Structures are given as C-alpha cells and as structure tokens.
Structure 1
Amino acid sequence: MVHKIQPVSFITISSDMEGQRVDNFLFTQLKVMPKSMIYRILRKGLVRVNKKRIRPKYKLINGDTIRVPRVWSKEVGKGVSSTKVGSAQTFLVENSIIYEDEYIVILNKPAGIAVHGGSGLRFGVIEVLRASRPDEYFLELVHRLDRYTSGLLLVAKKRSSLRDLHEQLREKRVKKYYLALVQGQWPIDITAVSAPLSKHSGKGYQKEVRVCEEGKSSQTLFQVKEYYSKQATLIQARPLTGRMHQIRVHALHAGHPIALDNLYGNSFFNEYVSMLGLKRLFLHASSLCFTHPNTRKIMCIKAPIDQKLENVLITLRMNI
C-alpha cells in the first residue's frame, strides 16, 4: 500500500465545468482518493468554494474558486494511478483513434480491452487515455462497449460535449450499428426483437443478462446482410436502448446466438467457427451517427471489420 499526498490546490470553474455537483466534480479530479474520504473533507468544511463551506450537492457556477485541502490518499491497486500503464497499452489505444478534435475523440476499439477499469481489471481505454494525456482536464466515456466487442467508441473532451451527447442518447438521436455473425439462417421477417432484460450474478466478476418480464424494456433492430449456407448469417444490429449485453442476449432470444460468445453462445457453433479461424466474439460496432456537440453537423463515422474477421467471412463464402 502506497501513501500519497494530495497538496492544496485552487481550481477555477469555467463555463464548460459549471452545473455539476461539487462532489461529482471532486470524484473526477481526485481519482485516487476514495469517495468516503471526499465526503469526509466536504462534511468537515475542508473544501471551500469562494472561501465558504458548501454541501456535497452544491452546483458549481462559472467563476467559482474551489479550494481543495492537503489530504492523504491510499493507493491500493485500483485504477491507473496505482499501476503503471505500459507503452504497449498506450500505443494500442492511441493508435486506435480515428477522429479527434477539441470536443470529442472517436476510437476503433480493439477487441479484448475494456473501456474502463473495475471488476478485476486495473485499467481500460479511458484510464489509458487519461494517463497518456495528463494535460487533458476532462476525458469521459459517452457510452460503453463490451470488453470483447470491437468498434466505434465515443469519448467526450468537455463536460458540455458529454451533456449534449448524453441528451442525444436519451432522445435516441444517436444511431449505433453493429455487425455480428450468428448461428444458422436468420429469418428475413425478424427485423426487431423487443424483450425486457435484467442483470444476474454470474461466476466471479461476470454478470449475466437474461430476458425477464421484470427487466428493463429493451429493443434491437436487425437486418440480414449475408447468408452462408445454413451454418451462419451476417446481420446488422441497431440497439434502440443501451442495456448491458443487449445485442448478444436478443440474438440468443431470437434463436441465433453470436459466434464465439462464450457466455451466451452455442458450444457446437463456437467450435465450428473456431475451426474457420475465429478467435474472438464476432461483434463489431461498425457505424456511429450523431450531431457534433459544437458544430451541430451530422457525423456518420464508419469502422470496417478487421482483416481477421473478414478472413472468416471469406472462408464461409468458400464453403457455400
């Protein structure tokens, strides 16, 4: 366990940072500090805004000056601050960026790397970005991808961008499209799956999602892209809601699990596609359409599947 001192600091709130609660603001600024300690220094009045004591729910205003006291934190192996991000991880994440400006970053995330740390993982994409860009005061995920799903991931570089993009997500104005290889011939008439989903505890850190009447309303649109005899189908999926493992569970619910899905897949189909050279879940976030938070222009970004996935499709076409 390493003890680290957090020196006294003064932070002036800009227009892009205003509107958030002071406790939430401190969570993002003091990443190595436990939340319990942050609430403790707030209760004791050690955090001052404009030289006055404030409550955790105080909402920051443009021009506010926050005094953060000299406090100690304990690094116990959580997050990037207590583990050194290797150059390989940094190169992998930075090299996956396909678009960036002063408001957003868009990555074509490789399969196998999580979007954030936690559940036994010390770091993910967002922690690597923060570690490699210490001068960036704000970097936050706009949405998430499963660890073994590849494809387009959107990161906000300003709080105003995050608010705007989250509003677009709530209003279903962000369109996300995925490509997936599924077992069997997907019926042409199944164009949507509406089935409520709920989380359940699995083995270790793993969470499972199941179709359940008491679950949250969930809907995914599907479109057939290509058939490969009776063995498999390439489909396009567009989730209208953003539930955990939604596409994977809805595909299973329709009777056509995704290739090499080790949680929801079919073992015989998984063995078949493994012999064709598939090494990971065949699910890829291929297209993302949204309104740019600053220019207000419609952006449609595409990321083709990688060559390894394309090789599996080529082999399937040869076997027709």
Structure 2
Amino acid sequence: MERVGNVRNKEKTILAIEELIGEDPVGRGIKQVRERGRLTGALGEAAHSLLKAEATYIVTGFHVVTKRTVETDGLLGAIFLGRALKQLGKEVYFIHDPETLRPLWDGIAAANFLPTLAVQLTRETMAAKKPEGLLKIAKSACLVAIERHGRAADGNYYTMKGVKIEPSPAPLDQLFLNAYNKEFKDVTTISCADGLNEIGMNNVPRDSNIQAEERIHSIVPVNHLVVAGTANWAAYGLIAALSVLESRNDLLQTEEEEEKVLKAVVDAGAVNEITFESGLTVDTLPLNKHQEIVRNLRLLLQT
C-alpha cells in the first residue's frame, strides 16, 4: 500500500497541474466555467478512471464552418493522450468522422505510435445502426472527447460565436449520451474541453441571462469534465496526472514533439478555428505558448 504522505503529495501535484492548464490567454472565462461547474479535482478523478479502464475510446475533431476540415485544437491532445495510454499498456481506439481522418492519422504518424484500432463513423452509419452496433465494448472502458462539438438544446451544433455548423457533423456525441445513460456496460465518460459548445458542458449549470451562451450550450453530460485554456491543454493535464499517479517521466511529449505533430496536422489541412488560418497556432495562440505549457508541466513533474 502506498504511504499516505506520498498519496497526498501526488494529489497536491495534480491540483497544481489542474491550476496550470487553467490559464486563460484567449479570454474564454475558464475560471468562471470551472467555478460554475465545481470542477476542482475533476482532473484527478478522470486520470484515476483512465487507469482503471482496460481500454480507452478517444473522439476528436471540431468542424470548421465554411471548410471541410477540423481545427487544430483537440487533435494533439487526442494523439498524445492515446500514445501515453498505449505506453501504460492500455488498448486505445480512435473514433472519428471523415473530416478528421487525414489530420488525425498524419498526426499519429508524426507522434510515432499506432493505436489499437480506429473507427470512422458518418451521419449515415450512425443513423442506420443501434448504439451497440456502433461501439462493441467488451471490457471496462473510458470514452473520451477532446474538443468535439456537443449538441445544443435544439439539436444543432454551433461555433463559439453561435454560428450553426452545416452540414451537420456526424453525431458522435450520441455515443456519450448512450454511455451516460448506461446503454454501454462499464463505460466512464470524460471530456477535455474549453468551450460551452462541446461534449460534457452540460455538467456546467446554465446562465439563462446570457442569451448567446444559452444558444450554444451543449446538453451532453459526462462523468468527468476537464476544462482548460485549450482542449489540448486539458489532455496534456491528463497525461501529466497519469505520470504522477504511475510515477512515470516518459509519458508527456517534448516541446520538439509538440512542434512536429502540430506541423503534421496543419500540413494535413487542420486550421485555427478562430482565424480560419493554416499555421502553427491553436486557438490563435502561437506554438511557443503551447510549448511553454508542456515545459511547465514537465517542470511540475520533477518536483
């Protein structure tokens, strides 16, 4: 049995990680969202769930209006979290739609690992099959969303600015509704998010006084919601928390790998969702800001 003092030190470090990834340079009101959702400690809870599960299914890819592609946020978090879980001996599955295919797979190749399997779902396949036919989960598992749109109360998907996403993306959030409603056996749901229009944000109470927010607010709940300055950072926080719990120093990517994989997904067509530009940015933030977060997480793991 692990000593009580050591357990407490790990818990303290994970809370420090949670604080670090909560930096809000884009000005989304991350602190207020966390407070409304009472999300302190969610990072550690999610990490424990990942360790208990035999398999993890990762969903990512946020569609960009006017372009047949996805944004850069979410992709790196999904790729590096998947790689870390494979290093821990877990089965790792990716679930994606056609728009996410190339950026995701080019990023996976750049990260130099192979998932257990990847499954592509479309609007048509999801409409034609029952939940159990879409996702055959035979063992304890986590279903993780990293920057994936969650439907609003009217059933549509929206950008942060309230623009309806058309054509409507494959409703991968339905898997989370199925899992949350216990239609899949022994599945825990997790979301890494930074905006109220994403899977999991139903965990955050609504503010009906803010009309624009009410329009986009996702109705999809999860068991554990990790909110950070970007969805990628939320996933990096999970990797760091897993590193703490497992006493590992080889799970989190390097700053050089951050650049390599970001370049791969951008070259494959992923763009900055806020500016619609193709470049080494995520949510308007330059590469060196994301490398700074990685560097500071690595420093925390050394304390």
Taking structure 2 as the reference length, what is the TM-score of the superposition?
A: 0.22
Compare the two structures and name the one with the higher helix fraction.
2
Q: Which one has a bigger Cα radius of gyration?
A: 1
Compare the two structures and name the one with the higher strand fraction.
1
Name which structure has the greater RCO, CA cutoff 8 Å, separation 6+.
Answer: 2
